[in-house]
C-alpha cells in the first residue's frame, strides 16, 4: 500500500538547544514504554488490519515505519522513511532472463509435485498448477517439460482425478492442457491425450446433461479407436511391413503408454456401466459397450475379463455384485456366499 506521506517535504532537526516544539536529534534516548522515541505511540493500522502504525502524540500524524527520533510538535515534521534495499536488477540479456525464469518455475513446480503426492493437499496443489499453467503466455521446450512432469504427478493415484472433492479442479487443469497441447513436444501428445481422457472426458460423464454425456462418450470411443490404430502401427513397424494410408501418418508410441491408455479406458467403462441405469443414457451406453466388444482384442486378458463380466451383468447372465458385509456377522457371511459369481 502506498504511504500517504509520500511526497511530503522532509525537515531536518534544527541544531542548537531543543526548546519546546523543537525536534530532538536522532539517537535520543528511547523513553517510551514500547521502546519508541519520546512522543511516539504504536497503534493499530486503520487500513491494514492486524498491522501497526506509529502516531505522533502531539500532531496525531501517523507513519508506517519505525521512527528513529523524538516526535516533533510541528506538523509535517516527520522522520524520513528508511531507504529500502534495492530490488535485484533484471538481466538485460534475454537468455539470462529466461534461465532465471525457468529456474524459478522449476523450484515452484517441484513444491507442487510434493503437495500432489499427499491426498490432503492434492486439490490445493491442482489449483496452483492451474493458475500457473493458465497464466503462462508461451511454453518453451524447457518450460513445457517442467509442466509435463508436474502433470504426470497428478496421475500417480488415478482415483484422485475423478474423486468428488477434486473432480472440478482436475478437469480445469487438463482443459488448459488441451488448449495448449500444441506447445508441448509432439512425442508427448499421446500421453497428454490419455491424461485428458481420464481427467476431462471421464469427469464429464458425471452429468445429467444428455448432450454433454453423448459428447464425452464420443471422445471415449475415439480414444479406443486411436489405441487400436497405434497398437497396429507398432506391430507393423516391428514386422517391417508397409503401413496403409490410415496408419502412415501415425507415430508408434511406447508400449507403456498404450498400456496406460487401455487402463484408463477400462476405468471409464466402469463409470459408463453405472450411468447405464439412467433411462436417457441406455441407448448411448449400449452403443459404447458394442464398440468396446468389437475392439475387445486390443485389451489384455485381465481387462477382457472385466469387459466380459460387465457385458454379462448387463445382459442379465450375472447378478450385479453387492458390497460384502465385513463385520463378521452370520448375515454378512451368508450374503457374501450368495453374491459370489
pLDDT in tens, 192-250: 999 999 999 999 999 999 999 999 999 999 999 999 888 776 555 555 555 455 555 56
Regions of the chain with pLDDT less than 50: 1-30, 243, 324-341
How far lies 274's CA from each of 72, 205, 254, 264, in Å? 78, 10, 32, 16
* 335 in Cβ contact with 324 (< 8 Å): yes
* 266 in Cβ contact with 229 (< 8 Å): no
What does the pLDDT look like over 111-133, one tens digit per residue? Answer: 999 999 999 999 999 999 999 99
pLDDT at 10: 41
pLDDT at 142: 81
For 23, list phi and psi in degrees, rounded to 5.
-70, 140
pLDDT at 222: 94
Closest to 288 (Cα-Cα) out of 300, 309, 301, 273: 273
Spatial separation of the C-alpha atoms in residues 116 and 24, rounded to whole Å: 57
pLDDT at 201: 96
3-state secondary structure 142-180: HHHHHHHHHHHHHCCCHHHHCCCCCHHHHHHHHHHHHHC
pTM, two decimals, is 0.66
pLDDT at 321: 63
pLDDT at 214: 95
Task: Show Cβ contacts of residue 163 under 8 Å, excluding neighbours closer than 6 positions.
Answer: none
| Residue 162 CB neighbours (<10 A) | 19
Amino acid at each position: 500500500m502506498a504511504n500517504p506521506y509520500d511526497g511530503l517535504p522532509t525537515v531536518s532537526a534544527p541544531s542548537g538547544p531543543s526548546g519546546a516544539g523543537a525536534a530532538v536529534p536522532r539517537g535520543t534516548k528511547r523513553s517510551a514504554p514500547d521502546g519508541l522515541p519520546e512522543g511516539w505511540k504504536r497503534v493499530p493500522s486503520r487500513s491494514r488490519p492486524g498491522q501497526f502504525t506509529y502516531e505522533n502524540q502531539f500532531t496525531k500524524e501517523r507513519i508506517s515505519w519505525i521512527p528513529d527520533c523524538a516526535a516533533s510538535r510541528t506538523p509535517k515534521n516527520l522522520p524520513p522513511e528508511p531507504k529500502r534495499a534495492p530490488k535485484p536488477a533484471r538481466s538485460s540479456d534475454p537468455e539470462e532472463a529466461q534461465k532465471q525464469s525457468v529456474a524459478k518455475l522449476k523450484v515452484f513446480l517441484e513444491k507442487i509435485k510434493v503437495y500432489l503426492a499427499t491426498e490432503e493437499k492434492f486439490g490445493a496443489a491442482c489449483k496452483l498448477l492451474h493458475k500457473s499453467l493458465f497464466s503462462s503466455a508461451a511454453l518453451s521446450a524447457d518450460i513445457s517439460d517442467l509442466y509435463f512432469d508436474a502433470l504426470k504427478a497428478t496421475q500417480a493415484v488415478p482415483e484422485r482425478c475423478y474423486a468428488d472433492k477434486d473432480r472440478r479442479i482436475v478437469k480445469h487443469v487438463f482443459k488448459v492442457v488441451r488448449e495448449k497441447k500444441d506447445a508441448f513436444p509432439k512425442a508427448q501428445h499421446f500421453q497428454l491425450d490419455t491424461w485428458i481422457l481420464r481427467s476431462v472426458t471421464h469427469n464429464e460423464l458425471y452429468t445429467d446433461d444428455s448432450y454433454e454425456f453423448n459428447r464425452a462418450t464420443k471422445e471415449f470411443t475415439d480414444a479406443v479407436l486411436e489405441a487400436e490404430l497405434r497398437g497396429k502401427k507398432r506391430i507393423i513397424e516391428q514386422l517391417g511391413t508397409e503401413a496403409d494410408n490410415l496408419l502412415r501418418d501415425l507415430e508408434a508410441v511406447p508400449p507403456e503408454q498404450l498400456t496406460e491408455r487401455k487402463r484408463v479406458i477400462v476405468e471409464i467403462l466402469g463409470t459408463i456401466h453405472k450411468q447405464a441405469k439412467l433411462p436417457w443414457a441406455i441407448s448411448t451406453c449400449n452403443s459404447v459397450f458394442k464398440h468396446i466388444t468389437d475392439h475387445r482384442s486390443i485389451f489384455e486378458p485381465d481387462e477382457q475379463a472385466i469387459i466380459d463380466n460387465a457385458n454379462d451383468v448387463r445382459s442379465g447372465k450375472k447378478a450385479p455384485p453387492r458390497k460384502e458385509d465385513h463385520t463378521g456377522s452370520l448375515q454378512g457371511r451368508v450374503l457374501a456366499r450368495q453374491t459370489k459369481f
